Amino acid sequence: MNTTLTLLTTFLLAPLATLHAADPKQFPPSHNDAGWLREKGTLIFHDPFEREETGKGMKAIGNGWESATADRVPQIKQADLDSGILKIASATKEAGHAAHIHHDAGFTDGGAVVRFKFPGLNKDESLQLGFVDRETKGIHAGHLCYGILSQSNISLMDSKTGDMNLEIRQRRQEYLDRKEKLPADLDALLKTKRVTVPWNADTDWHELVLVTEGDEMRLSLDGKVIIHHRSEGFAHPMKRWFSFLVPSTVWIEDVKIWKVN
């Protein structure tokens, strides 16, 4: 299996920590992270996708979006702007990597508000979204932290101090190559870097809010905090890119990126 497919497998199959659903005492119904971003933050980017695309290739989506994976298979259209909707259909097998689309961000605390849906075109539709800083050394491809939505659960993951840390990644890979169980200390560490809660996906439109505040990451759906986690990687001082990783199909209608500080 090549490196990029191994990376995708790592994302989707990484060790899971104890379920960490939002505590109603900590996040009452009145708590709204979209409102927190509007009140405390500055809108630094907005894209409603109301335009025609310019064609295939890394910059084909326009408005500052880039996709290096598009240039792996330039003959295949993986992102289509249609009536104000960014329709992503990954050529994962042909490209050897799930569709990876990113945009400049640039904040310590802040987040993104995304209106999305699984269109139901594939049975295993999933969406990974989060933050990257390729200027930081010691992290594979700059992967910092992510929210991951599958058909059956939602996860938050600190990649910077977890499985994308180069030292941890190298040590972990040695055991994977030998098809051996991870040593107890490494397994325990990785389990602290990811939390997961159950969720039943549907084909409706949803507003997703993913924020970092200090060492905490939170993910909300339709105004309600669904999952949160604290880990030191979330406090990385510069989230330079906001990125999507899509292994099959996802539709996105609107993206806003907010900077709090």
d(Cα 163, Cα 110) in Å, to the nearest integer? 23
Q: What is the pLDDT of residues 29-67, one digit of tens each?
A: 668 999 999 999 999 999 999 998 877 889 999 999 999
| Residue 130 in domain | yes
Q: Which one is predicted more confidently, 142 or 7?
A: 142
| Residue 19 in domain | no
Task: Kindly state the greatest CA–CA separation across the chain.
Answer: 52
Q: What is the pTM of this model?
A: 0.89
CATH number at residue 85: 2.60.120.560
| Residue 247 in domain | yes
Q: What is the DSSP string of 124-186?
A: T--EEEEEE-TTSTTBGGGEEEEEEE-SSEEEEEE-TTTTTBHHHHHHHHHHHHTT-PPPHHH
- Split at pLDDT 50, 70, 90, the class of 180 is very high
| Residue 20 in domain | no
Would you state the pLDDT for residue 219?
98
Q: What is the pLDDT of residues 68-102, one digit of tens each?
A: 899 999 999 999 999 999 999 999 999 999 999 99
Q: Which uninterrupted H or E stretch holds 213?
A: strand 206-213
Average pLDDT estimate for 220-241: 97
| Residue 68 in domain | yes
Structural domain count of the chain: 1
Residue 24 has pLDDT above 80, yes or no: no
Residue 17 has pLDDT above 90, yes or no: no
Task: Provide the residue range defining the domain that includes 104.
Answer: 3-14+27-259
- Split at pLDDT 50, 70, 90, the class of 129 is very high
Distance between alpha carbon 67 and the CA centroid of its chain, in Å?
Answer: 15
Contacts of 149 (CB under 8 A, 6+ apart): 126, 127, 128, 199, 201, 208
Determine whether 202 is exposed, middle or buried from the number of CB atoms within 10 Å of its CB (0-12, 13-18, 19+). Answer: exposed
| Residue 221 in domain | yes
| Residue 79 in domain | yes
d(Cα 199, Cα 177) in Å, to the nearest integer? 32
Would you state the pLDDT for residue 26?
66
Name 257's bridge partners.
Answer: 45, 112
> What is the percent of the chain with per-residue pLDDT over 70, rounded to a whole number?
89
| Residue 90 in domain | yes
